[in-house]
Amino acid sequence: MENLENKKNIAQKWFKELRDSICDGFLSIENDASDNYQHWDNLNSTFERKDWKRANTQHDGGGGTISLMQGKVFEKVGVNISTVFGEFSDEFKESIPGAEQDPRFWASGISVVAHPRSPFVPISHMNTLLIVTTKQWFGGGGDLTPIFPIDRDTEDFHLAFKSTCDKYNTDYYPQYKEWCDKYFFLPHRNEMRGVGGIFFDSLNSGDWNNDFTYTQDVGKTFLDVYSRIIRRNMNKQWAIKDQEAQSIKRGRYVEFNLIHDRGTKFGLMTGGNTEAILMSLPPSASWK
Amino acid sequence: MENLENKKNIAQKWFKELRDSICDGFLSIENDASDNYQHWDNLNSTFERKDWKRANTQHDGGGGTISLMQGKVFEKVGVNISTVFGEFSDEFKESIPGAEQDPRFWASGISVVAHPRSPFVPISHMNTLLIVTTKQWFGGGGDLTPIFPIDRDTEDFHLAFKSTCDKYNTDYYPQYKEWCDKYFFLPHRNEMRGVGGIFFDSLNSGDWNNDFTYTQDVGKTFLDVYSRIIRRNMNKQWAIKDQEAQSIKRGRYVEFNLIHDRGTKFGLMTGGNTEAILMSLPPSASWK
């Protein structure tokens, strides 16, 4: 049990470190914005932090920290960390591995969604988490949603995650990529949300340290490859018609997150923090 | 059976007539736009019509017509009519009155959502329908979503529906108003979608003609009272900050429709026409 507490602490500490690395990385990008962005020079390119607490009862507790920047390159980017614990309701416990008999859970993780101002910079999302019931596992993933897909960006994004996955298990990448493609799909539009990435869940290989290092690597890989993709596209000039296409794509992003996203649904239905959950929504969107 | 076919035809014909009245009424408002709207003088203030068909198989069929105007006073307004028939899937039939034994259904109705350009004109929605399984009933309602609620508008809207309801049964209004307040509520925001109106379902009093006349009256009442509310507010000057508040409220509208609205969920999950179903979404929305 002491060993498990130790693992929880290590994981929780990592999500905080990764949050700091991502915020620092994004801030350095923000500082490299060209004159294209001078219209937004009055904006404070800083992450505003806001702590929230879960309603604490005898059995439930925890909370998290929202880091939100509304800047120049990043029109809106949220980096959330949270650590929560409690008991699943009867409604949910049947569908959660290891919670059927004992409904108690503990979960800690990080979630990032970036909505760049330029229509030529893809939207991107990454999250990783550790869940503990009577079982325990890692989950997460990262995916890219360009408005105007560019082969080089798509290939780099996929290659980065493939390289990371292959260091651990060559079965991971094909499986996690397929999972991602299946997950980020809008059936009512018959279209993909974006160009994919990876998505994994229930990762417990039996070697905790290896699984944890892999999960850490997914976070680092995201920061590295997404930063490169942002930097190479962010200073291109764009036009009103490009912004209109971006706005429609952002509408699709809203549709996915509110209709299909499991984390969003689960969070809202279990009384999670609405502000943190809906941080993923774009600054604006439109529908024809 | 002939009698039932006759009822279906009469109802279907009415929804078409009501569609024409609403489109005509809204066009006459559009023509009375003041110079406030001269920036949008280039827009065609006409309803574009688009027919759609349901995938026709041996047992399923029907379709509908979308009427969409993107005008001056009405930044976006959709008036949809549809008549569809088929068989409920096993998943749904248990929850539909009269479909448990025989899954066949027929449904015809009209649905209107108006997103005015001015932040001082409330968003509004109205729908009415006739559903036939082995049972048959009318349903529908209308509700008002102001960005900046004005007592006179709210009172007029409620009073209009109360007068209409009371002509048929004095139990209707209190019951349908409460139903509306309960339905158009966003639990994750702990806020109402707007200021309410009426919502009814499963209306079958035993007197079909009376129920049908009531349902017709609900549609006419909506057109009358909403037109008055639009006209008295549409030519007020507004500022950027008012538009920003409108954009946030539209975001809440999107949240309600995609997360909670039964018709939207049901439609998307049963392979309905996506364009017609999502016609209710605002032209634009924003999230902080």
Helix (H, G, I), strand (E, B) or coil at B151: helix
Please state, for a pLDDT cut of 70, what percent of chain A lies above it: 99
Confidence tier at B138 by pLDDT (50, 70, 90): very high
Please report, for the domain that includes residue B219, its CATH number: 3.40.1500.10
A43 located within any domain = yes
DSSP string across B247-282? HHHHHHHHHIIIII-HHHHHHHHTT--HHHHGGGS-
Domain residues for B88?
Answer: 2-48+65-280
Is A286 close to B286, i.e. CB distance below 8 A? no
Residues in chain A within 8 Å Cβ distance of B255? 258, 278
Helix (H) or strand (E) holding B90: helix B90-93
Closest by CA to A134, choosing from A89, A94, A98, is A98
Q: Cα separations (Å) of B78 from B123, B130, B280?
A: 12, 20, 7
Looking at residue B178, its pLDDT comes to 98
Q: Taking 80 as the threshold, does the pLDDT of residue A100 lie above it?
A: yes
Q: Categorize the per-residue pLDDT at B2 as very low, low, confident or very high, splitting at 50, 70 and 90.
A: low
pLDDT tens by residue, B204-221: 999 999 999 999 999 999
Helices B208-233 and B2-30 pack at an angle, to 10 degrees, of 10
Contact list in B for residue A255 (CB cut-off 8 A) is: 258, 278
Residues in chain B: 288
Distance from CA of B158 to the nearest CA of A (A): 30
Whether residue B131 is predicted with pLDDT greater than 90 in this model: the reply is yes
Residue B275: the pLDDT is 94
The minimal CB distance from A258 to the residues B187, B189, B255 is found for: B255
Residue B31 lies in a domain: yes
**Chain A positions in Cβ-Cβ contact with residue B277 (cut-off 8 Å):** 188
Q: Looking at this predicted complex, what is its ipTM? A: 0.92
Assigned token pair, A207? 């070697």
Per-residue pLDDT, averaged over B163-184, amounts to 98
Residue A271's pLDDT is 73
B287 touches chain A (CB under 8 A): yes
Tell me: pLDDT of A139 over 60.
yes
- Exposure string of B1-21, with b = 16+ CB inside 10 Å and e = fewer, is eeeeeebbeebbebbeebbee
How many Å apart are CA A55 and CA A105, to the nearest integer? Answer: 15
State yes or no: pLDDT of A1 exceeds 70.
no
Query: Which residues of A have a catalytic role annotated?
Result: 125
**Span A157-173, average pLDDT:** 98
In a domain, B54, yes or no: no
Which of chain A's residues have a Cβ under 8 Å away from the Cβ of B76? 287
What backbone phi and psi angles, to 5 degrees, belong to B236? -70, 145
Three-class HEC string of chain A: CHHHHHHHHHHHHHHHHHHHHHHHHHHHHHHCCCHHHHHHCCCCCCCEEEEEECCCCCCCEEEEEEEEECCCCEEEEEEEEEEEEEECCHHHHCCCCCCCCCCEEEEEEEEEEEEECCCCCCEEEEEEEEEECCCEEEEEEEEEECCCCCHHHHHHHHHHHHHHHHHHCCCHHHHHHHHHHHHCEECCCCEECCCEEEEEEEECCCCHHHHHHHHHHHHHHHHHHHHHHHHHHCCCCCCHHHHHHHHHHHHHHHHHHHHHCHHHHHHHHCCCCHHHHHHHCCCEEECC
* Cβ within 8 Å of A, B 57-116: 76
pLDDT beyond 60 at B62: yes
Distance from the Cα of B83 to chain A's closest Cα (Å) equals 20
Contact list in A for residue B286 (CB cut-off 8 A) is 283-285
What was the pLDDT predicted at A112? 98
Cβ pair B153, B168 in contact under 8 A: no
Please say whether the beta carbons of B148 and B245 come within 8 A: yes
Closest chain B residue to A189, measured at CA: B274
Q: Is A245 on the interface with B (CB under 8 A)?
A: no
Digit-coded pLDDT (tens) for B214-267? 999 999 999 999 999 999 999 999 999 999 999 999 999 999 999 999 889 878
Average pLDDT of A274-284?
A: 96
Whole-number pLDDT of residue A16: 98
Residue of A nearest to B244 (CA): A284
Chains A, B: CB contacts within 8 A come to: 55
Output the pLDDT for position B95: 84
- Pairing of β A284-286 and β B284-286: antiparallel
- Residues of chain B in contact with residue A189, where contact means CB-CB under 8 angstroms, are 274
Asked whether residue A287 is domain-assigned, the answer is no
With cut-offs at 50, 70 and 90, classify the pLDDT of residue A88. Answer: confident
Per the DSSP assignment, residues forming a β-bridge with A53 are A63
> Does A254 reach chain B within 8 Å, measured CB to CB?
yes
Question: How confident is the model at residue B94, as a pLDDT?
Answer: 85
Q: Determine, yes or no, domain membership for B57.
A: no
- Here the tokens at position B265 are 């969920």
Q: pLDDT tens for residues A196-224?
A: 999 999 999 999 999 999 999 999 999 99
Q: How distant is the Cα of B267 from the closest Cα of chain A, in angstroms?
A: 10
Confidence at residue B93, expressed as pLDDT on a 0 to 100 scale: 83
Within a domain: B286: no
pLDDT computed for residue B90 by the predictor: 83
Quote the mean pLDDT of chain A.
Answer: 94
Q: Residue B91: exposed, middle, or buried by beta-carbon count in 10 A (0-12, 13-18, 19+)?
A: exposed
- Host H or E run for residue B62: strand B61-69
Question: What are the pLDDT digits (tens) for A34-57?
Answer: 988 999 999 989 999 999 998 767
Q: Is B243 on the interface with A (CB under 8 A)?
A: no
pLDDT tens-place string over residues A220-250: 999 999 999 999 999 999 999 999 999 999 9
The yes-or-no verdict on residue A58 having pLDDT over 80 is no
- Whole-prediction pTM: 0.94
Least Cα separation, residue A128 to chain B (angstroms): 24
Burial of B190 (0-12, 13-18, 19+ CB in 10 A): exposed
Yes or no, beta carbons of A284 and B247 under 8 Å apart: yes
Cβ density class A160-190: b for 16+ within 10 Å, e for less: bbbebbeebeeebbeebbebbbebbebebee
Is any Cβ of chain A less than 8 angstroms from the Cβ of B268?
yes
pLDDT of residue A2: 59
CA distance B282 to chain A (A): 6
Question: What number is the average pLDDT over the span B52-67?
Answer: 86
Percent of chain B surpassing pLDDT 70: 99
Cβ-based contacts of A282 with chain B (< 8 Å): 287
Q: Which of B39, B59, B115, B125 is catalytic?
A: B125
pLDDT at A105: 92
Asked if the C-beta of B189 comes within 8 angstroms of chain A's C-beta atoms, the answer is yes
CB proximity B278 to A under 8 Å: yes
Closest CA to B228 of B126, B143, B121: B121
Task: Label residue A267 by pLDDT band (50, 70, 90).
Answer: confident
* Residue A54 forms part of a structural domain: no
Q: Which of B268, B283, B287 sits opposite A283 (nearest CB)?
A: B287
In this complex, do A284 and B285 lie within 8 Å of one another by their Cβ atoms?
Answer: yes
* Position A58 in a domain: no
Flag whether pLDDT at B278 surpasses 90. Answer: yes
In chain A, how many domains are there?
Answer: 1
- State both tokens at B171: 């139990």
Res. B47 pLDDT band, cuts 50 70 90: very high
